[in-house]
């Protein structure tokens, strides 16, 4: 199974006549040779010849053809000579057998569905490509495996890989999507959107999209979506500067009754390391000062969290939070002041 040939077709085609009569066999043999070289560090020339059903001279010619295509095929010493695939500047077509393809799809599905920080976008993009290339027999097996697999994660955070793949394709191909959505209060609505970006936090996936009915940008928790449908209608992407910040503001500040703005006496990078994106939104206000936005349902939580960060800070708004922290500070000073 070739998971990367699309990008290299223009390299194999013109030089090998891959779509012309009489040379298709040579092209197929080259791909088989490339796949064998990927499977183990080194091969003997006769061993490769036996695997390919040709003579050692043909193997030498095929190795030369791969070099002409830009792949670093090295010759190894020994009786009859041998070959190995060196590290070149380009990633060659990745050729996998059925078991390897299934393993890749399963692992990518688990990592993408769990929103593992640092690799979530790459895992999802690769999963979408692998899922599209799987032959029907493997697609059926993978669907059965996913249906009978249970992840040791809290139920609200689990997102089926198929949903992520569908949304990733819609974002990539700029196709409108429709789905029913359950709000934080449990209300269900039908939404029509232009999908723009998928953003992962430590626990959840969010879709950033332009809502066609509300004519504004919105963020949607993917685990609250149902019956995702790709309409087939394409759209011209709208400009959006920072999708991740939009998600951070929507989950850390906007949903809450109390929305606080705090000036912190520390660089934004340092504050961001201590304050997760789903807790607060941080932006620089100078080289050694930053602005932190927090949301909560009560003043007590925000006050306690700010004290727990260990930063020097000043509350800009709301006034009620400033007064609450001042009152708490006075009580603490009275109770823990110096004793004569």
Domain of 275, CATH number, reads: 3.30.70.250
320 pLDDT more than 90: yes
Note the pLDDT of residue 8. 45
131-148 per-position pLDDT tens digit = 766 777 777 777 776 666
pTM of this structure: 0.52
Could you tell me which residue, 113 or 175, shows the higher pLDDT?
Answer: 175
Residues 178 and 227 in one domain: yes
Note the pLDDT of residue 180. 94
Picking from 52, 85, 118, the residue at the C-terminal end of a domain is 85
User: Are residues 33 and 52 in contact, defined by beta-carbon separation less than 8 angstroms?
Assistant: yes
Note the pLDDT of residue 114. 56
Which residue range is the domain that position 304 belongs to?
Answer: 253-336
23-73 per-position pLDDT tens digit = 667 877 888 888 888 777 788 889 999 999 999 899 999 999 888 887 888
pLDDT band at 2 (very low <50, low <70, confident <90, very high): very low
Structural domain total, the chain: 3
Note the pLDDT of residue 153. 46
Note the pLDDT of residue 6. 38
> b/e per residue, 33-67, with b = 16+ CB within 10 A?
bbbbbeeeeebbbebbbeebeeebebbbebbebbe
Residues 14 and 80 in one domain: yes
Picking from 187, 209, 239, the residue at the C-terminal end of a domain is 239
* DSSP bridge pairs for 182: 188
Rounded Cα–Cα distance for residues 207 and 210 (Å): 10
Q: What is the mean pLDDT of residues 294-313?
A: 93
């Amino acid at each position: 199974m070739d998971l990367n040939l699309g990008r290299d077709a223009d390299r194999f085609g013109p030089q090998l006549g891959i779509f012309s009569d009489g040379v298709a066999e040579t092209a197929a043999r080259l791909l088989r040779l490339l796949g064998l070289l990927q499977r183990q560090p080194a091969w003997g020339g006769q061993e490769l010849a036996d695997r390919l059903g040709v003579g050692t001279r043909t193997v030498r010619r095929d190795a030369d053809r791969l070099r002409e295509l830009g792949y670093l095929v090295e010759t190894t010493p020994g009786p009859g000579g041998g070959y190995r695939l060196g590290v070149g500047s380009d990633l060659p077509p990745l050729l996998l057998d059925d078991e390897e393809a299934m393993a890749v799809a399963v692992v990518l599905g688990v990592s993408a569905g769990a929103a593992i920080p640092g690799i979530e976008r790459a895992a999802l993009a690769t999963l979408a490509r692998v899922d599209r290339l799987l032959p029907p027999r493997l697609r059926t097996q993978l669907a059965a495996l996913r249906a009978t697999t249970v992840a040791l994660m809290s139920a609200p955070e689990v997102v089926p890989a198929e949903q992520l793949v569908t949304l990733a394709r819609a974002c990539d191909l700029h196709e409108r999507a429709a789905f029913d959505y359950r709000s934080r209060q449990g209300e269900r609505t039908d939404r029509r959107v232009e999908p723009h970006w998928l953003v992962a936090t430590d626990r959840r996936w969010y879709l950033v999209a332009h809502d066609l009915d509300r004519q504004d940008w919105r963020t949607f928790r993917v685990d609250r979506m149902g019956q995702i449908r790709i309409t087939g209608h394409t759209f011209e992407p709208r400009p959006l500067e920072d999708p991740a910040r939009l998600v951070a503001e929507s989950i850390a500040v906007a949903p809450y009754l109390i929305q606080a703005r705090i000036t912190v006496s520390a660089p934004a990078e340092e504050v961001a390391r201590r304050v997760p994106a789903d807790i607060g939104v941080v932006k620089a206000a100078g080289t050694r000062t930053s602005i932190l936005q927090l949301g909560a349902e009560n003043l007590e939580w925000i006050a306690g969290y700010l004290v727990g960060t260990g930063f020097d800070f000043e509350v800009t708004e709301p006034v009620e939070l400033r007064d609450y922290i001042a009152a708490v500070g006075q009580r603490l000073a009275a109770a823990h002041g110096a004793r004569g």
